[in-house]
Structure formats: C-alpha cells, structure tokens
Amino acid sequence: MKILPAIDVRGGRCVRLRQGRAEDETAYGDDPVEMALRWQGEGAGFLHVVDLDGAFRGRPAALPLCKALAAALSVPFEIGGGLRTDEDVAAALEAGAARAIVGSRAVSDPASAAALAARFGADRVVVGIDARDGFAQVAGWTETTAVRATDLARDLASRGVRIFAFTDTATDGMLSGPNLAAMDAMARALEPFGASLVASGGVHAPSDIAALRALGRPNVEGVIVGKALYEKAATLAEFAAAAEEPLPEGPRP
C-alpha cells in the first residue's frame, strides 16, 4: 500500500480545506514545489496534487506548476482539478504528470471518461470519485448528485477504467478517521473488474492505515494523506511503516 502525500494548491499556496469548503482554508506554505521536494526527501514515492483553483473554476490553472514539479522531482505525481476536456488531460500529462485525475466529467459522461483511459492508457488516467453520504459530488464538491458512488464506479470499471481515487468528503480534512464502511464498499464494488482504489479522507494516524489494510481488500493500492502530515499528527515515515507492518492473523471482513 502506497502513502501519497497530498499537495492541494490554491492561489499558488499549499492549503488544506475542511470538507472541501473554500471558505474554510488553512495555508501551510507558499511554494508547492518546495513542499513536494520535502515529501520526496522524507521518502514519498508518489505525490497527489490537487489544483483547487481548477476544480472550482472548471478549467485547469496549474499546468505551469506541473512543469515545475516534473523538472524538480525524481518521483512521479498525479494531478487533478478542472481537467474537463481531452485537451486538459493531454496537457497535464504532457506537462509531466504521471497520472491525470478526472472527476466531474466522469459523473456527467462516464463513456467519455472511459475513452480517456483507452486513449492515454488505463495506468495514466485516474477517475476521482468524491462522495457525501454515498452520493457523488462534482464541481469542487459544491454539488451533490443523485448518482451513487459505487454504481458510478462499477459503470466506469466495466468500461475499462482501472484506477480510482475515492474521497469521502464528510471526513476530508477533519482528522476524524476514514469512513471504513464507505472505503470497503467501494473496494468491493471494484474487485470484480480488477480495478484498484486509492483511499482518501479523514486519515489522522498510522492506525488508520492499519484499519484500511485490515479490511482485507488487496485492490486498495494506496492512501492519500494530507492534513495529518501538515498538522504533524504523525510523520510520513510513521505512515509508511504502518503500510508495511504485518497485520495480525485472523479472519478478515
């Protein structure tokens, strides 16, 4: 299981939002590249970058940042936020991102999102599903749809999408622990298709990593950790160790 430090960028700064609310922002640094180098230096093997300006505006705003990150880093990163068109995804990948994350588009037009995975490679296009109370959210989490997140995931996986990032928005930025039931349901929905899941939302301690692993879902390939790192609830090394420690023997859920 990989630990992916999150770098959320808004107005050129590294920030974290509580439950995705734009008005509830905490800044943690003025240089996203410097922050990325910090996490790389602490052992991160993959980074998760979110263009919050792009997410709220519906068009990418961080392509120059992509290029700067690609030039500075020796580890790969993925980026999402406002990637609504084929051209947006192509530009993000050409700018140096290893993976591009599409979200709102996948809800409104699953077929076109799946076509992106076919065009650019199923290992380079991630579908980000953000949900509250089990229903998908779009437009930077400002709109909740009538689409069940697990139904959307099954549909997309049946069309060939192979990597999903799933965020429970009620827990994101709250340091309250992940929604284990929601993560388990999503992983279970993807298993028949051989699709993998990166879990996000609420992680506050290494014990949360152990709890996610204890679900016994081998397709949970990674966990995004944000505020817990910035608030120094635990170090990246401690989270990474929890992702590798042997789990107790016994029946899994």
Reduced to 3 states (helix: H, G, I; strand: E, B; else coil), residue 114 is: helix
Residue 26: pLDDT band (50, 70, 90) is confident
Amino acid letter, 243: A
- As given in the structure block, the two tokens for residue 170 are 């009620």
Distances (CA, A) of 195 to 96, 154, 217: 24, 10, 11
Cβ-based neighbour number of residue 54 at 10 Å: 24
pLDDT digits (tens, 9 = 90+) for 57-78: 889 999 999 999 999 999 999 9
Largest distance between two CA atoms of the chain: 49
What's the pLDDT score for residue 253? 44
Q: Which two tokens stand for residue 90?
A: 């192509």
Please give the positions annotated as active site. Answer: 8, 130
Convert the pLDDT of each residue in 218-230 to its tens digit: 999 999 999 999 9
Using the predicted structure, report yes or no on whether residue 131 has a pLDDT greater than 50: yes
DSSP string, 160-172: T--EEEEEETTTT
Residue 144: is its pLDDT beyond 60? Answer: yes
For strands 13-17 and 2-10, give the pairing: antiparallel
* pLDDT, tens digit, 9 for 90 and up, residues 30-59: 999 999 999 999 999 999 999 999 988 889
Interhelix angle for 180-190 vs 206-213, to 10°?
40
DSSP for residue 2: E
Please determine, looking at this structure, whether the domain spanning 2-242 carries the CATH number 3.50.50.60.
no
| Greater model confidence, 247 or 146 | 146
Q: Tell me the domain boundaries of the chain.
A: 2-242
Amino acid at 45: G
Query: pTM of the entire structure?
Result: 0.91
**3-state SS class at 178:** coil
**pLDDT value, residue 220:** 97
